[in-house]
Structure 1
Amino acid sequence: MSAVEGFAPIIDDGVQTLILGNAPSVMALAAQQYYANPRNAFWRITGELFGFEADAPYEMRTAALLSHKIAVWDVLKFCRRVGSLDSAVEPRSMVPNDFAALFDEHRQITRVLFNGAAAEKNFDRLVRVAPDLSYRRLPSTSPAQTMGYADKLAAWRDALTDRSD
């Protein structure tokens, strides 16, 4: 079982939406970048929605998200897991990130979008410190989620372009 240490959030003072994954994959850890697995649809989807290339330099992709007032983080600061699947995380090893501090510092965040069921489940179980925010689970962008790309894109488009949450 490997120790998994999460990343700092992609965030700045202007964000209003926080996208939460569960924990970085093996490829993400190796690259030190969110959603580094080329088969993960996160950058393809967000690139299509916000007008950047999915394979643009990481700094350009993250800047594009921030320019659209979107932050990215993971629910888990630390866990133990074999491989990359969320289902392989040892439940007793889960340590959540400090969301109380994040929401206190970034009071302009009004909604949280979960990248898949595991992120939502673990946030609800371990965190849920800001019940007055809008929460919405989206289909996971992971290649393990077998929903077709067009359906994933439609769900993400609906969530990221709907500001009435």
Structure 2
Amino acid sequence: MKAAFAPVVDDATRLLILGSLPGDASLKAAQYYAHPRNGFWPLIGRVLDEDLAALPYPTRLERLKARGVGLWDVIASAERSGSLDAAIRSPEAADLRGLIDALPSLRAVAFNGGLAARLGRRILSGLGDVAMIDLPSSSPAHAIALATKAATWNSLSKFIG
């Protein structure tokens, strides 16, 4: 059984980025998006106009929170061999509504990849005033150019403080 990390949020979170479930490299390192080829840190760094990938992990999280960006996953736990979303079995949903109810400044939820979007939108249907954005996955398994992914990811800038 593989489990998600704790959410990285605070009362000032305006944008919540949701992945599916941490991959093996992330679980081993106990860090969100730890696989060296995952494009998350370069992509969100472009949005924030900061080189987050060059910073130590705790500082990356501090910088996200300082800019109103939170992280979590739509799946709390699941069976999975390897790191691919296609291998996820018996997923248990994270309490997204409970988390969102505790975020008074939230303006948008962004889904990092197709599975996160499908599950997250199902859980959050009828959410109300919070914008929902589907992003191309930052995973190296989603084999399109980082620049192509960045075009969609850059739309998050309007939710950043």
TM-score (norm 2): 0.92
For residues 142 and 56 of structure 2, the distance between their equivalents in structure 1, rounded to whole angstroms, comes to 25
Give 1:156 deviation, angstroms. Answer: 0.7
Contact preservation (8 Å) 2:21, 2:73: yes
Question: Conserved in 1, the CA contact under 8 Å of 2:75 and 2:93?
Answer: yes
Alignment of 1:46-61 (within 5 A): 46-50=44-48, 51-61=50-60
Task: Judge which range, 16-25 or 100-109, deviates more.
Answer: 100-109
Deviation of the 1:122 alpha carbon: 1.4
Which ranges of 4 or more aligned residues in structure 1 deviate by more than 4 Å?
none
In the alignment, residue 138 of structure 1 is paired with which amino acid? L
Residue in structure 1 matched with residue 96 of structure 2 by the alignment: 99
> Counterparts of 1:123 and 1:49 in 2: how far apart (Å)?
22
Q: Is the partner of 2:44 in helix, strand or coil?
A: helix
Contact 2:97 / 2:124 at 8 angstroms: preserved in 1? no
* 155 and 27 in structure 1: CA distance in 2 versus 1, 3 angstrom threshold: same
Q: Any conservation in 1 of the 2:18–2:73 contact (CA below 8 Å)?
A: yes
Matches within 5 A, 1:29-108: 29-50=27-48, 51-90=50-89, 93-108=90-105
Please tell me whether the aligned partners of residues 99 and 129 of structure 1 are also in contact (alpha carbons under 8 angstroms).
Answer: no
Q: 2:132 aligns with which of 130, 135, 148?
A: 135
Q: Please tell me the root mean square deviation across aligned C-alpha atoms, in Å.
A: 1.3
C-alpha contact 1:28 1:35 (8 A) present in aligned 2: yes
**What percentage of aligned pairs have identical amino acids?**
36
Q: Is the Cα–Cα contact under 8 Å of residues 116 and 138 in structure 1 kept in the other structure?
A: yes
| 1:152/1:56 CA distance change after superposition, 3 Å | same
Q: Distance in 1 between matches of 2:54 and 2:28?
A: 17
Aligned with residue 27 of structure 1, among 25, 28, 31:
25
Structure 1 residues without counterparts, runs of 5 or longer: none
Does the CA contact (< 8 Å) of 1:39 and 1:142 recur in 2?
yes
Cα 1:111–1:130 shift into 2, 3 Å: farther
Q: CA deviation at 1:53?
A: 3.6
Q: What amino acid is aligned across from residue 34 of structure 2 in structure 1?
A: A
Aligned to 2:148: 151
Gaps of 5+ in 2: none
SS in 1 for 2:115: helix
Q: Give the stretch that moved more between structures: 46-55 or 62-71.
A: 46-55
